Amino acid sequence: MARYRNISMDFWTDSKVVDDFTPEDRYIYLYCMTNPHTNLCGCYEVSIKQIANETGYNNDSVERLLKRLDGAHNVIRYSAQTKELLILNWCRYNWSASEKLNKPLLSEIRRVKNDRFREYLAARYNERGTVTAQYNAAEDDRPEVPRHKHGAHGWVRLTEEEYARLIDDLGEEELTRCIDYIDESAQMHGNKNKWRDFSWSTNVNFSMNRNEVKELWRQREPTKRQRECYGRPAAAPPDVRQRGKPMTHKEMSEIFAVMLLAYPNAEVFKGGIAKLGPTINLWVTCLPEIDFWTGQQAVVKLVRECKFPPTIAEFKEKAEKVQAEVRARIDQAWNYLKLDMALGKTPEEAVARLSEGTDIRRVIEAMGGPSRLIATGERTFGDGTVKTYEYYNYDGFKSAYETIIRQTSALNSGPRKAVGPGMKQIGGKT
């Protein structure tokens, strides 16, 4: 492990750094290149919390700055799943042409956990003139890391590294609660799904907590320049265009009508919808962040899982989980496309790799084609000059994908007509 990292003086005169990087961008980028976690290959493991502790920023600021280095400046990639940071141009300045470098460099690359990061580094490694045997990252058979049993019945199995990460993210008390819940659920049903283990990276009870925290910054209001440059998704039906708006009294009445059907003997619903005017108004007032479509998905999940009518807090919690599921699904698709483009593929080539008839292809068509994955912005300097730059159009992709999801009610695994916006009848009465 090197104790020193050399930074070229050209860093301070590079036109990209001078014109585009803010002082915060330069600071965090220098940290990425010189922190004690760096290694020979330029892809290393570091958590958001570690970066925050070592730079003095809070977690939200770190995520915001890493996103800028990734999307706006295209100099790094960060995987929230494996907590690995990849510096794209590291090889240009830190890899020599010496044959002696091949063995230690290959050893570092093989330890990279993110498959796409490892493929990127493998491609750069194979371009070295001194490499005699090409390295195929896709065929690399790495030894399986042992998993240890957790919980009273041992259904939850995690590696030591996964367990440490979960402790870091959730805290010991919350992690113990999650493990006990999953372990007891599996034991109660005899593990009917035949799962061999419950990985932290795939289990929704774990990943949901992580995503809810790490994606909060995406809810922030975009800048004026961003709003002008974002790609426009295809026109959506009226109920889809209303996403993000609070439910009206009429829409909340439809939500309550579904609960009335699901809980006909509940004391709160005696007298029918007509007697629930004040209660419905209270729900509308307390849930301004929940739109009608999200409420529909939440109520379907609640009536299938709960024996008793939900409270406002329970409804809000379920609706927020629906929103988190949508964000996680969109981000997974986006990261797949973006990394392909980062590896040198054009938007058209990245889309061509997708199977026909997939949701992602429908999203691309709704955006207006693969070219809309890249957006263009302008920046005016003090001397009046205007510089055009390109950036990944995440917000256009996100908006179009949300439209597709809402049109298909992808999260609703039950009957859709029961909670559709056109529902007119409840209990045989109009």
Buried b (16+ CB within 10 A) or exposed e, 160-198: eebbebbeebbeeeebeebbeebbeebeeeeeeeeeeeb
- The first and second tokens of residue 186, run together, are 């599996």
Tokens describing residue 247: 């439910």
376 vs 214: which has the higher pLDDT: 376
DSSP label at residue 244? T
Is residue 426's pLDDT more than 60? no
Q: Are 108 and 41 in contact (CB under 8 A)?
A: yes
Amino acid letter for position 25: D
Q: What is the pLDDT of residue 228?
A: 42
- Model pTM? 0.41
| Number of continuous H segments (helices) and E segments (strands) in the chain | 19, 7
pLDDT-derived band of residue 392, with 50, 70 and 90 as boundaries?
Answer: confident
What is the rounded distance in angstroms from the CA atom of residue 33 to the CA atom of residue 55? 13
SS3 116: helix
d(CA 158, CA 200): 7
Q: What is the pLDDT of residues 121-133, one digit of tens each?
A: 998 888 888 887 8
Reduced to 3 states (helix: H, G, I; strand: E, B; else coil), residue 60 is helix
Mapping DSSP onto H, E and C, the string for 347-405 reads HHHHHHCCCCCCHHHHHHHHHCCHHHHEEEEEEECCCCCEEEEEEECHHHHHHHHHHHH
Looking up tokens 């194979």 gives 126
Give the whole-angstrom CA distance, residue 62 versus residue 84.
Answer: 14
Residue 289, pLDDT > 80, answer: yes
Q: Rounded mean pLDDT of 153-180?
A: 77
Please give the Cα distance from 187 to 177 (Å, whole number): 15
User: Which of 82, 96, 61 lies closest to 335, judged by CA?
Assistant: 82
User: Is there a contact between 26 and 17 (Cβ–Cβ < 8 Å)?
Assistant: yes
Helix axes 160-170, 204-214, angle to 10 degrees: 50
Q: List the one residue out of 108, 112, 106, 111 whose CA is nearest residue 128.
A: 106
Measured at the CA of 215, the angle between CA 63 and CA 157, to 5 degrees, comes to 100
How far apart CA 134 and CA 128 sit, in angstroms, is 10
Gap between the Cα atoms of 10 and 92, Å rounded:
14
Give domain limits for the chain: 9-139, 148-218, 229-430
Check if the beta carbon of residue 231 is closer than 8 Å to that of residue 396: yes
17-75 per-position pLDDT tens digit: 999 999 999 999 999 999 999 999 999 999 999 999 999 999 999 999 999 999 889 99
Backbone phi, then psi, for 314, in 5-degree steps? Answer: -65, -40
Query: What local confidence, expressed as pLDDT, does residue 219 receive?
Result: 38
Cβ atoms of residues 135 and 103 within 8 Å? no
Check residues 222 and 367 and name the one with the higher pLDDT: 367
How far is Cα 42 from Cα 31, in angstroms, rounded to an integer?
13
Instruction: State the pLDDT at residue 143.
Output: 54
pLDDT at position 3, please? 72
* Residue 329 pLDDT > 80: yes
Instruction: Judge contact between 52 and 58, C-beta under 8 A.
Output: yes
76-79, strands of its sheet edge to edge: 43-45, 84-87, 76-79
Residue 417 has pLDDT above 60, yes or no: no
Average pLDDT over residues 174-197: 66
Question: pLDDT band at 217, cuts 50/70/90?
Answer: very low
Model confidence at 139, pLDDT cuts 50, 70, 90, reads low
Give the H/E segment covering residue 150. Answer: strand 148-150
| More confidently predicted of 224 and 70 | 70
Q: 14 versus 226: which is more confidently predicted?
A: 14
> What span, in angstroms and rounded, lies between the C-alpha atoms of 282 and 280?
5
260 vs 309: CA distance, rounded Å = 9
Range with lowest mean pLDDT among 69-83, 156-170, 259-273, 278-292: 156-170
Query: Which CATH architecture fits 9-139?
Result: Orthogonal Bundle (1.10)
Q: Where are the beta strands (DSSP E) in 265-311?
A: none
Strands (E), 224-290: none
| Mean pLDDT across 256-281 | 84
CA–CA dist 206, 7 (Å, integer): 39
Q: Residue 244: its pLDDT value, please?
A: 64
pLDDT: which is higher, 139 or 287: 287
Where residue 192 falls among pLDDT bands split at 50, 70, 90? low
Among 75-89, 132-146, 332-346, 374-388, the least confident range: 132-146
Average pLDDT of the chain is: 77
Task: Please tell me the predicted confidence (pLDDT) of residue 165.
Answer: 73
- pLDDT (tens digit per residue) in 228-241: 443 333 333 334 43
pLDDT given at position 423: 34
pLDDT at 216: 33
**CA–CA dist 260, 268 (Å, integer):** 9
What is the model's pLDDT at position 190? 61
Distance CA 201, CA 209 (A): 11
Most confident of 55-69, 91-105, 243-257, 269-283: 55-69
